[in-house]
Amino acid sequence: MNSGDFKTIEINTDLLILGGGMAACGAAYEAAFWAKKKNMKVTVVDKAAMERSGAVAMGLSAINLYLGLRNRKNTVRDYVNYVKNDLMGITRDDLVANIARHVDSSVHLFEKWGLPIWKDNKGNYINEGRWQIMIHGESYKNIVAEAAKKALKELGNNGEYLERVFITEPIVVDNKCIGAAGFSIREKKVYIFKAKAVLDAMGGAVHVFRPRSVGEGLGRSWYPPFNSGSSAYFAIKAGAEMTCQEVRFVPVRFKDAYGPVGAWFLLFKSKATNALGEDYMKKNASELKKWAPYGTSNPVPANLRNYLMMMELEKGNGPIYMKTNEAIKDLVGKITDIKEAEKKMKELESEAWGDFLDMTVSQALLWASNNIEPEKQQSEIAACEPYFISSHSGASGAWVSGPEDLSPDEYHWGNENMTTVKGLFAAGDASGASSHKFSSGSFTEGRIAAKSAIAFCINNTSSGNVDKDKILELKKSILQPIDIFSRYKDYTNDKDVNPHFIKPKMFMFRLQKIMDEYAGGTGTGFKTSEALLEKALEFLQFMHEDSAKLAASDLHELMRCWENVHRLWQAEAHIRSVLFREETRWPGYYFRTDFPEIKKDWKCFANCRWNNETGKWEMMKKEIIELT
């Protein structure tokens, strides 16, 4: 196979939506509504199949963002304050508020489309915690995808959905994004999309850091390994300003199969302890004062909960255990009637297994294979490798314009959710500084961004021109790994080891080693410093050089090559931002040993931009302006 075998397919559209996850489904649903009125075309492109693509592929057991405004349970301001505190003060209030004020309506749509939400006898949703509601969510993604596809279908020829097309590169002319390039992972086809507006919604980034699951466990991760930093790469290469690239997320999960802990902490009211049975949140509570006012607030920010746990591991007091057995015993112990108690026990057992079977099936398999009965014994938890996911408790993404009615001038320069590149919008994990949007908030932000992008298309009717030479250049660069492989494959008799090329898996391992050892991965207890980060940057420059030697023996490997190029750029944005911020603000996410304290003068955003004219990175501080 070589590049000459590939056809070039050119597609013209009005709004191009990249990705098929929660944000993209929300975007497709909303865009279709507005596009229909204006006879506009909407095209959605996903590397996988929408029914099971992205983070919600396996399903979920809770919707983590629901305010309950119709019952006056919470206010938008309550939510903004909660998110801001969890992120140690680094949040765009305007973006969080914009999502929060609209999110309930998205959840009501999910229910209308058939998603079973747990309810009490009075028909009220059952909360897991203050903001989280319980669902039977194994088919969550199918339900949402079905609605998105139906909306596109209703547009007739103006609704287009391409699956198994991997987006590699933005097309930008005069700081305006006019399209994207990619390739089919099933057919020998390169795609050139030309659009009036482009919405980047390709999820977060996994496997940038060396995962705890290596060897026979490779591929297992908490977030989906298929989200490989394409959102960040696309925006960076387009020249967009990025924010919070240092704010990785380190989730605490059940060890080795990454089962989420939220239901245990919030619904079952479980405690976690060190190996000596000590509740580390109580034992190390005095540490929280150092991180005031955030550390002394309720709830304690996720990164500080991690940190108090990590302190025990530093002292050699591991493993850390979730006291599942004690939590269940406490819940049943309150019931005096024996029959009722037995019934409750069965219910809790089923909920405990259901929590994983709905969203992290492998954790249920691991429990079964290790003979773990949660009602009888405790279960290990651990801090995972870092992820880039602004929709959960991280914050890295593109710097986007806020809504006109809420945002100060500094945060409003164009249509809502437009990046600093004209015509390029971002939502979900792709947009930064608006954490805790989760599945429902990402879908909602997709809706907000799509409505705004359609409005942009109405006011900006000209599509840019992509000339023939540019198309040839894009095609050549996308398919280069195929040509390199076919040219050199016979040089050695091992298809994976060759002095002329590097295979994507080896490339990924090399990147992960650098990130783990120099940028504060699990291997170094999440610690790093200027000296280590400078070294990492030096190695990353070699990786940039070597990325020109990536080789692919088939279409699947071609995708793997590009995934790892995307990871590399996400890694670099991260390292540069961690280096730039001379303090430690999220000690349970990473710790700068040379700047071990939180500093007042760093209560600001650390933004960065790769200047696509000079090829140089620019770092800048941006003021935090809170909503009054």
Residues with catalytic function: 64, 128, 222, 253, 355, 392, 439
Pick one of 149, 220, 255, 392: the residue that binds ligand SFD (CB under 6 A). Answer: 392
Secondary-structure percent of the chain, ordered helix, strand, coil, rounded to 5: 45, 20, 40
Q: Which CB contacts under 8 angstroms, 24+ apart, belong to 410-417? A: 410/622, 410/623, 410/625, 411/92, 411/94, 411/625, 412/94, 414/456, 415/452, 415/453, 415/455, 415/456, 416/98, 416/448, 416/449, 416/451, 416/452, 417/445, 417/448, 417/449, 417/452, 417/453
Residue with the shortest CB distance to ligand AMP = 262
Residue 378's binding partner among ligand SFD, ligand AMP, none (Cβ under 5 to 8 angstroms by kind) is none
Residue 499 phi, psi (nearest 5): -65, -15
Give every CB contact of residue 283 below 8 A, 6+ residues apart in sequence: 274, 308, 312
Q: Which is nearer to ligand AMP, 51 or 351 (CB)?
A: 351
The 3-class secondary structure across 96-133, one letter per residue, is HHHHHHHHHHHHHHHHHCCCCECECCCCCECECCCCCE
For 132, counting Cβ atoms within 10 Å of its Cβ (0-12 exposed, 13-18 middle, 19+ buried), the class is: buried
CB of 260 to ligand SFD, least distance (A): 3
Q: Which helix (H) or strand (E) holds 71?
A: none
CB of 309 to ligand SFD, least distance (A): 17
Q: What's the CA gap between 137 and 117, in Å, rounded?
A: 8
Reduced to 3 states, what is the DSSP secondary structure of residue 10? strand
Interface region with ligand SFD, contact rule CB under 6 A, candidates 52-60, 318-326, 451-459, 580-588: 52-60
Interface region with ligand SFD, contact rule CB under 6 A, candidates 272-280, 432-440, 487-495, 525-533: 432-440
Residue 22's binding partner among ligand AMP, ligand SFD, none (Cβ under 5 to 8 angstroms by kind) is ligand SFD
Residue 265's binding partner among ligand AMP, ligand SFD, none (Cβ under 5 to 8 angstroms by kind) is ligand AMP
Interface region with ligand SFD, contact rule CB under 6 A, candidates 54-62, 149-157, 334-342, 492-500: 54-62
Pick one of 16, 29, 54, 100: the residue that binds ligand SFD (CB under 6 A). Answer: 54
CB 488 within 8 A of CB 500: yes
Residue 129's binding partner among ligand AMP, ligand SFD, none (Cβ under 5 to 8 angstroms by kind) is ligand AMP
Binding site for ligand AMP (CB under 6 A): 64, 129, 132, 251, 260-262, 265-266, 299, 302, 305, 393
Residue with the shortest CB distance to ligand SFD = 21
Q: Which is nearer to ligand AMP, 359 or 578 (CB)?
A: 359
**Is 230 near ligand SFD (CB under 6 A)?**
yes
Q: Residue 544 CB: number of other CB atoms within 10 A?
A: 12
CB of 86 to ligand AMP, least distance (A): 7
Pick one of 43, 53, 91, 127: the residue that binds ligand SFD (CB under 6 A). Answer: 53
Q: Which is nearer to ligand SFD, 193 or 226 (CB)?
A: 226
CB of 132 to ligand AMP, least distance (A): 5
Interface region with ligand SFD, contact rule CB under 6 A, candidates 43-51, 271-279, 280-288, 608-616: 43-51
CB of 56 to ligand SFD, least distance (A): 5
**Is 456 near ligand SFD (CB under 6 A)?**
no
Q: Using the 8-state DSSP alphabet, how is residue 465 labeled?
A: P
Q: Which is nearer to ligand SFD, 536 or 555 (CB)?
A: 555
CB of 262 to ligand AMP, least distance (A): 2
**Is 56 near ligand SFD (CB under 6 A)?**
yes
Q: Which helix (H) or strand (E) holds 227?
A: none
Reduced to 3 states, what is the DSSP secondary structure of residue 244? coil
CB 16 within 8 A of CB 180: yes
Q: Which of 212, 381, 410 is nearest to 305 (CA)?
A: 381
**Is 19 near ligand SFD (CB under 6 A)?**
yes
Residue 552's binding partner among ligand AMP, ligand SFD, none (Cβ under 5 to 8 angstroms by kind) is none
Give every CB contact of residue 177 below 8 A, 6+ residues apart in sequence: 170, 171, 197, 198, 238, 421, 422, 423, 424
| Dihedral (Cα; 584, 586, 591, 597), 10-degree rounding | 30
Q: What's the CA gap between 573 and 594, in Å, rounded?
A: 20
**Is 192 near ligand SFD (CB under 6 A)?**
no
Residue 366's binding partner among ligand AMP, ligand SFD, none (Cβ under 5 to 8 angstroms by kind) is none
**Is 428 near ligand SFD (CB under 6 A)?**
yes
Radius of gyration of the chain (CA): 24
**Is 223 near ligand SFD (CB under 6 A)?**
yes
CB of 502 to ligand AMP, least distance (A): 35
**Is 358 near ligand SFD (CB under 6 A)?**
no
Residue 604 phi, psi (nearest 5): -160, 170
Q: What's the CA gap between 239 and 609, in Å, rounded?
A: 7
Interface region with ligand SFD, contact rule CB under 6 A, candidates 5-13, 57-65, 283-291, 522-530: 57-65
Reduced to 3 states, what is the DSSP secondary structure of residue 172? strand
The sign of the torsion formed by the CA atoms of 55, 190, 192, 572 equals positive
CB of 277 to ligand SFD, least distance (A): 26
β partners of residue 610: 617
Residue 602's binding partner among ligand SFD, ligand AMP, none (Cβ under 5 to 8 angstroms by kind) is none
Give every CB contact of residue 343 below 8 A, 6+ residues apart in sequence: none
Pick one of 190, 195, 202, 398: the residue that binds ligand SFD (CB under 6 A). Answer: 202
- How far does CA 101 lie from the centroid of its chain? 21
User: How many binding residues for ligand SFD (CB under 6 A)?
Assistant: 43
**Is 432 near ligand SFD (CB under 6 A)?**
no
CB 623 within 8 A of CB 604: yes
CB of 320 to ligand AMP, least distance (A): 13
Q: Hey, what amino acid is at 281? A: M
Mark residues 60-99: x for contact with ligand SFD by CB under 6 A, - for none.
xxxxx-----------------------------------
Residues that bind ligand SFD (CB under 6 A): 18-24, 45-48, 53-56, 60-64, 166-167, 201-203, 222-224, 226-227, 230, 260, 262, 359-360, 391-392, 428-429, 438-440, 442
